Amino acid sequence: MNKNLIVEFLMGKIDYSKEDQQIIDGIEDAKLEMQVASCMFESVNDPQLIEVAIYSQEAAKKRYEYLLSLAKERQITRAITTFY
């Protein structure tokens, strides 16, 4: 790995394209969605709501995995180093 890239990353000076930033934001959103679904799963008793929580968590996980694969393809290191 390039030392200059590491220094720029640590100092927050890496400029991402608009598309790369959208992927990073999407990853953060998907992580939040997984956490919300997990909290919902832990706090509900109704079988239908449990099913909704499971479905929501699985959908967020699939979205997260997809966006993470895009980040890896595009070599977006910030998104990869902060994954769930």
The DSSP secondary structure of 28-81, one letter per residue, reads HHHHHHHHHHHHHHHH--SHHHHHHHHHHHHHHHHHHHHHHHHHHHTT-HHHHH
Residue carrying the six token digits 């699985």 = 58
Domain count, the chain: 1
2 in any annotated domain:
no
38 in any annotated domain:
yes
39 in any annotated domain:
yes
58 in any annotated domain:
yes
Does the predicted TM-score (pTM) go above 0.85?
Answer: no
Domain extent for 27:
17-81
Q: pLDDT by residue (tens digit) across 64-82?
A: 999 999 999 988 876 455 4
4 in any annotated domain:
no
Q: pLDDT by residue (tens digit) across 14-37?
A: 677 889 889 999 999 999 999 999
* Residue 38 main-chain phi, psi, to 5 deg: -65, -45
56 in any annotated domain:
yes
60 in any annotated domain:
yes
How far apart (Å, rounded) are the C-alpha atoms in residues 31 and 61? 8
